[in-house]
Amino acid sequence: MTFDPFGDFETRGYLRNFEGEKNLDIVRRLEHLSFTTGVEDAFQKLSQVETLSYEDVLGTHKILFEAVYPWAGQDRSTTAPELAVSKGPVLFAYPQDIRRSIEYALHKGQDKAFMSSQPGTVMGYMAYGHPFLDGNGRTIMVIHSELAKRAGFSIDWGATSKFDYLAALTSELDDPGKGHLDAYLKPFIKGAVASDRLAAEVAAAPGLDGNADLNAVLGKIGEPQLQARYQQQELRRKRAQR
């Protein structure tokens, strides 16, 4: 099923991309070109910021995908404020909770000791926030790589497995605070790389061409069954933060 949160796929293409393209293979190629063209600029911009904020996450997405989407740099609280978005079994953050989730991840990620010991936990909270309708994985990996550099290490993304990484990330999202993604990433942690190498390190990660399962709209966030799921998730996450 096509991911169509705007409800105008037939007239404006996938997520209102500038080309009006409906062929997802073509859209993914456009995304990948935009990402690989912009990733060095994104890292350069982040390197000039002393303390990373939510606005820097939005700005990174805009740099990476503004050639494809007119809404690049706008989060789901703006583009789809009434919709519950999921991927597979994962229900992502309530739109109005996106900023809070990402800001918590940035707070922990800029604590060098925490970031060094629990990089998977930081990644998990950013992934749960899932700020954008598309391009989340690539945007989050750029931000996470910048946080890792500041903490004095890097992750050898090129050596990771797309399938195993996504499985560990799904476990992290479903059962936060138990170290699922930390355990997966541990063998791939290495020394920090120079800033001018970060873009190449991230570009080497498998699966960044965007060829993955699509997001899905589960319904309106006010529906009772979805409200119950959101509340259950929030309780689990509050317990994990204690």
Q: How confident is the model at residue 242, as a pLDDT?
A: 67
Residue 36: pLDDT over 80: yes
What are 10's two structure tokens?
A: 């037939």
> What's the helix, strand, coil split of the chain in %, to 5?
60, 5, 30
Domain coordinates in residue numbering, the chain: 9-240
Q: How confident is the model at residue 241, as a pLDDT?
A: 72
Q: How confident is the model at residue 209, as a pLDDT?
A: 67
> Cα 6 from chain centroid?
20
% the chain with pLDDT above 70: 97
- Decide if domain 9-240 falls under CATH 2.102.10.10: no
Residues 233, 167, 127, 22, CA torsion sign: negative
Please give the full DSSP string across 15-84, using - where no structure is assigned: GG-TT----HHHHHHHHHHHHHHHHHHHHHHHHT-SS--HHHHHHHHHHHHTTT-TTTT--HHHHSTTEE
Helix, coil or strand: residue 216: strand
Q: Which of the four pLDDT bands, split at 50, 70 and 90, describes residue 125?
A: very high
CA pair distance 177, 118, nearest whole angstrom: 10
Q: Which of the four pLDDT bands, split at 50, 70 and 90, describes residue 106?
A: very high
The pLDDT tens digits for 165-190 are 999 999 999 888 899 999 999 999 99
Residue 93 DSSP symbol: P
Residue 213: pLDDT over 90: no
The pLDDT tens digits for 46-73 are 999 999 999 999 999 999 999 999 999 9
Q: How confident is the model at residue 17, as a pLDDT?
A: 98
Strands (E), the chain: 83-87, 90-91, 153-155, 189-191, 216-220
Q: How confident is the model at residue 233, as a pLDDT?
A: 84
Residue with structure tokens 């050898």?
156
The pLDDT tens digits for 81-90 are 999 999 888 8
